[in-house]
Amino acid sequence: MSAPNTARRLTVVASIFVLAACQDTAGPNEPTPNLAMSPQAQSRLAALFGAASPEVLALPGTVFADHDESNGRLLFAIEHAGARPAVERALARLGVTEGEYAIEVREPVRQMATLRDVFRPTVAGIQIHFGNYVCTMGFNVSHSGGRSFITNSHCTNTQGGVEGTVYYQPSSSVSGVIATEVADPVYVKGGSCPKGKKCRQSDASRALYASGTASNQGEIAKTTGANNSSLTTAGIFTITSQDNNRAVGLNAIVNKVGRTTGWSQGRVTNTCVNTNVQGSQVHQLCQNFVAAAVNGGDSGSPVFRIISGDNVELVGILWGGSGSSFVYSPLQNIQAELGAVTATK
């Protein structure tokens, strides 16, 4: 966990959805017209653009429209080839000839947000705020006790035991209460627990969503890349499976997304490690270590294995580390203490 920063929205527009028709004479930052075209042809394209841009961009799967003066054409971008026929039909209705336009498949334009922004519906990997601290939302679940999210036990007002911690997203200065802690088993002494310590199998708690808070189960915020420290979101990982049986072993490549260091990835270096927590009596039984970046505020990060593309398998929840290595509680341990959960899409 870490102390909360001043809450602020960091939404940045990535680029312009629609480019307005440009002037015939290029300014210092405008494209130079194709001089091989006659003034009449240039004027015709400008007029066609004014009519075609709103018509085409009303169609599903379109990205942008541009009066591309330097190439003497209209340029239309689509998300996928399946959108092409509808665009072609619209242009034909408007009298735009095939030689006057081009259609290209391009990546869709998205608004850029960070893991510390407001997310509604909520997804895993984003900032949550409680008391005087911030942590990371672990993952949304279906549970017999109701629609919930899992985060760390130490991301509650008191680690171990239920005292009704309330959560905000991303902070109390921006949102009302989104959820309330309802499950957090006490730490126990004796048995296999070392003398002077109190033990659990997972550093995990469950918070029940307020009825008015929308959440997306099975989704983890995806940033711009692994191990680049970016907090800018660039899509979604989809949880298509969950490791209920500790199948992820030594040298497996796993990932986490957290509000401080973003998406980090590395190899599992140690499995089923009994772990002391510095400066406390807390002892976590049978935890996994991963060689990947972590820092304060990443507590609660979902830990997952990439299956293919953006489809992932949830394997646990991060709770600690030492800068270049993080520690996580396997999902099997979490369910042994909090009950069965479904985290998949």
Confidence of residue 317 (pLDDT cuts 50, 70, 90): very high
Phi, psi of 2 (to 5 degrees): -155, 165
pLDDT of residue 192: 87
The helix/strand/coil state of 170 is coil
Residue 342 gets which letter from DSSP? B
Q: Which two tokens stand for residue 3?
A: 């102390």
- Give the mean pLDDT of 205-218: 98
Q: What is the Cα–Cα distance from 138 to 150, expressed in whole angstroms? A: 5
Q: What percent of the chain has pLDDT over 70?
A: 88
Q: Which two tokens stand for residue 55?
A: 């018509």
Residue that wins the pLDDT comparison between 296 and 17: 296
Report the length, in residues, of the chain.
Answer: 345
Among 13, 17, 107, 99, which Cα is nearest to 58's?
17
13-22, 79-88, 145-154, 194-203: range with lowest mean pLDDT: 13-22
The helix/strand/coil state of 332 is helix
Q: Which two tokens stand for residue 297?
A: 């505020």
Domains of the chain: 15-105 (3.30.300.50), 122-338 (2.40.10.10)
Phi, psi of 85 (to 5 degrees): -55, -40
Confidence of residue 65 (pLDDT cuts 50, 70, 90): confident
pTM confidence score: 0.73
DSSP string for 59-91 = STTEEEEEEEGGGTEEEEEESSGGGHHHHHHHH
Q: Which amino acid is at 316?
A: G
| Cβ-based neighbours of 144, under 8 Å, separated by 6 or more | 339, 340
- Compute how many other C-beta atoms are within 10 angstroms of the C-beta atom of residue 228: 12
**Residues 300/155, Cβ–Cβ less than 8 Å:** yes
Chain segment 223-271, per-residue pLDDT in tens? 999 999 999 999 999 999 999 999 999 999 999 999 999 999 999 999 9
Residue 188 gets which letter from DSSP? B
Q: Kind and range of the H or E element at 134?
A: strand 133-136
Strand partners, 342: 142
Q: What is the Cα–Cα distance from 117 to 87, expressed in whole angstroms? A: 35
Confidence of residue 37 (pLDDT cuts 50, 70, 90): confident
